[in-house]
Amino acid sequence: MRQVAREQVGGFTIWRGITPRYEVVLVKTGMGVMQAEAAARAIRDRGQFALFMSTGCAGALAAELVPGDIVVATAAMGNHSHGRFETDRDHRDSVRRTAERAGLRVTSGPMLCSPQALATAEHKRAAAAQHGAVAVEMEGASIAAEAAERGIPFVSVRAILDTADTELRHAGRFIEPQTGAVKPFALAGYLAAHPSAIADLLAMQRMMRAAQTSLERFFAVWCSTLDR
């Protein structure tokens, strides 16, 4: 994006940038269903949108997915208050082609939106069996619901962070639940008490790097082709 400006809207950080034909508004929702709902409401008066895209990381529910894989959702499913929202087929096909042009492994399938992180392999297997989803995240259904209410096409593009077998028992102890930011003092205290967790956290760092790299590659291509 060019001519990028940063501002605060309703307590959320947003970035506005342009391409030759479009203005792009990037909203940092933070983690969770409620955060995503509030973020979507915060931009209701920011103009008319041609597309809502949910993006970020996701956890694998399908065994074949590995960190850095891209999942293009065919639907966003909430397992509580939200229902099932189909993604826009034309945009879905377009972003899948974009991922392929970026040289990324890409999978399509239903995406589960969970109100809490699925921290164990057992919980992930149960969610996959119950919902038939290939991956899980915590914001997409809220964004999809807002898009549906406003008559705006919706698409979801997520990079896999953790595999279906990855255990995430440590992270909840030092992650800020609303923003996803690491709490440094909590992390230091936790590692002092649990030094064996260091290996798991280094593995998580590698997974995060793989997911981040894939998203960077995807959006480098997507932004360059927006105006075509």
Predicted confidence band of residue 207 (pLDDT cuts 50, 70, 90): very high
Query: How do strand 106-113 and strand 135-137 relate by DSSP bridges?
Result: parallel
With contact defined as beta carbons under 8 Å apart, do 88 and 153 qualify?
yes
Q: What is the pLDDT of residue 226?
A: 80
> Which element (helix H / strand E) includes 186?
helix 184-193
Q: What is the pLDDT of residue 80?
A: 57
Is residue 218 over pLDDT 70? Answer: yes
pLDDT greater at residue 226 or residue 60: 60
Q: What is the pLDDT of residue 8?
A: 94
Burial of 165 (0-12, 13-18, 19+ CB in 10 A): exposed
Q: What is the pLDDT of residue 107?
A: 97
Q: What is the pLDDT of residue 173?
A: 66
Burial of 211 (0-12, 13-18, 19+ CB in 10 A): buried
What pLDDT digit, counting tens, does each position of 158-190 carry? 999 999 998 876 666 666 655 556 677 777 787
**Phi–psi pair at 188, nearest 5 degrees:** -60, -45
Q: What is the pLDDT of residue 6?
A: 96
Ordered structural domains, the chain, with CATH: 50-225 (3.40.50.1580)
- Rounded to two decimals, the pTM is 0.88
Burial of 188 (0-12, 13-18, 19+ CB in 10 A): exposed
CA–CA gap between residue 155 and residue 53 (Å, rounded): 5
